[in-house]
Amino acid sequence: MAVVKAENLTVTYGNRPAVEGVTFELKEGETLLLLGPNGAGKTTLLKTIACFHREYSGELRVFDRSPCEARDLIGYVPQIQTINVKVPLTVLEVVAMGAVYRRGFVHFKLPPEIIEKAKRVLGFVGLSDLEEKLFRELSGGQRQRVLLARALISDPKLLLLDEPLSALDPSARVEVATVLGRIKRERGITMMVTTHDINPLLEIGDRIMLLSKRLVAFGKPEEVLKDSLIKSVYGPLARVVPVEDRLFCITGDAHVHATGVK
Ligand SMILES: Nc1ncnc2c1ncn2[C@@H]1O[C@H](COP(=O)(O)OP(=O)(O)O)[C@@H](O)[C@H]1O
Ligand SMILES: [Mg+2]
């Protein structure tokens, strides 16, 4: 059974399509890297799969259900810049609330079994030492790992990650990519990851999607990471460079309206 199956999927805001006529299938345990310039529809696609945005036509099945029916199986990690860090929550509280929200609790006394579980997932992302620290005092890479733990606490079968490497310095990118590798290998969770910088994630990418409103390419890394395809969405300065036995992808920070494929 496919974890995600989209057929001729068009997602709109009002009458304006943000994602148009997209067809692909993602199998259990696979990691999909979702690549495309700003405005390409990456966030929109993730939000539609997570049932946060419901204006679409065509077929979209998640675990052979509608996205909203599959909600309990999905973990969604938003772009870190959208998190409000004014509230003085501890790391442990931020993680525990991932489980509390889902169960619909409104009171603030966290049940002990949820605290225990929060501690376990914090251990998994390597942050046991920081449980009592305030979330807002953490570095970008640490915050991103806390958000991963918050998603993992409800045992998702599909993880959707929006730009988990953006706004991080190179060493923090490697740190977060390493945790994503552990999630894939040790938990076997199917993942969709949007990213501008594909290079730290190439090791875990089974499938790559190039999106520019429409699907430009979808397939194995060696099929999609071709100079001509990358240039067609990121413009003439983008390149794929072979370095020893691996590929290196230079894309810059293009915007879909400047370079997009119609
Ligand atoms: N809430 C919204 N209302 C209207 N248009 C939106 C909304 N969110 C995104 N869009 C539009 O949809 C298109 C795709 O946006 P988005 O999915 O955020 O792209 P990406 O994540 O690839 O940068 C853009 O043209 C954007 O302006
Ligand atoms: Mg986005």
- Domain membership of residue 98 (yes or no) is no
- Domain membership of residue 253 (yes or no) is yes
Going through the chain in order, the beta strands assigned E by DSSP cover 2-13, 16-27, 31-35, 56-62, 74-77, 158-162, 190-194, 207-212, 214-219, 239-243, 246-250
**What does pTM read for this prediction?**
0.92
Q: What is the CATH number of the domain that holds 24?
A: 3.40.50.300
CA 86 to the chain's CA centroid? 24
Q: How confident is the model at residue 101 (pLDDT cuts 50, 70, 90)?
A: low
- Domain membership of residue 191 (yes or no) is yes
28 vs 190: CA distance, rounded Å? 6
Which residues have a Cβ under 8 Å from the Cβ of 211 and sit 6 or more positions away? 19, 22, 34, 35, 36, 40, 41, 42, 45, 233
Pocket test for ligand 1, best of 11, 13, 255 (most atoms within 8 A of CB): 13
- What is the percent of the chain with per-residue pLDDT over 70, rounded to a whole number? 91
pLDDT in tens, 168-207: 998 999 999 999 999 999 999 999 999 988 889 999 999 9
- The number of the ligand nearest the C-alpha atom of 39 reads 1
User: Could you give the residue ranges of the DSSP H alpha helices within 77-219?
Assistant: 91-103, 112-124, 140-152, 170-182
Tokens of 26: 């993602």
How confident is the model at residue 259, as a pLDDT?
A: 37
Tokens of 149: 């733990």
181 vs 27: CA distance, rounded Å? 17
pLDDT in tens, 200-257: 999 999 999 999 999 999 999 999 999 899 888 888 888 888 887 777 888 766 565 4
- Domain membership of residue 104 (yes or no) is no
Residue nearest to atom 3 of ligand 1 (CA): 13
pLDDT in tens, 104-121: 555 567 889 999 999 999
Average pLDDT for residues 82-96, to the nearest whole number?
A: 83
- Domain membership of residue 56 (yes or no) is yes
260 vs 97: CA distance, rounded Å? 39
- 99 or 168, which is more confident: 168
Residue nearest to atom 25 of ligand 1 (CA): 39
Tokens of 7: 């057929």
190 vs 160: CA distance, rounded Å? 9
- Domain membership of residue 246 (yes or no) is yes
Cα dihedral 67, 73, 79, 85 in deg (nearest 10): 120
Query: Which residue matches tokens 């949820």?
Result: 114
Residue nearest to atom 1 of ligand 1 (CA): 13
pLDDT of 82 above 90: no
Is there a contact between 194 and 39 (Cβ–Cβ < 8 Å)? no
Q: Give the CA count within 13 Å in the CB-facing half-sphere of 178.
A: 11
For residue 36 and ligand 1, the question of a CB distance below 6 A is answered with: yes
pLDDT of 103 above 60: no
Q: Which of 205, 194, 261, 193 is nearest to 230 (CA)?
A: 261
**Ligand 2 centre and the CA of 11: distance in Å?**
14
- Domain membership of residue 111 (yes or no) is no
181 vs 66: CA distance, rounded Å? 28
* Total domains present in the chain: 1
Task: For the beta carbon of residue 136, count every other beta carbon within 10 angstroms.
Answer: 14
pLDDT in tens, 17-34: 999 999 999 999 999 999
- Domain membership of residue 152 (yes or no) is no
The H or E element spanning position 230 is helix 227-234
**Ligand 2 centre and the CA of 194: distance in Å?**
8
Residue 176 domain boundaries: 2-88+158-259
241 vs 239: CA distance, rounded Å? 6
Residue nearest to atom 9 of ligand 1 (CA): 44
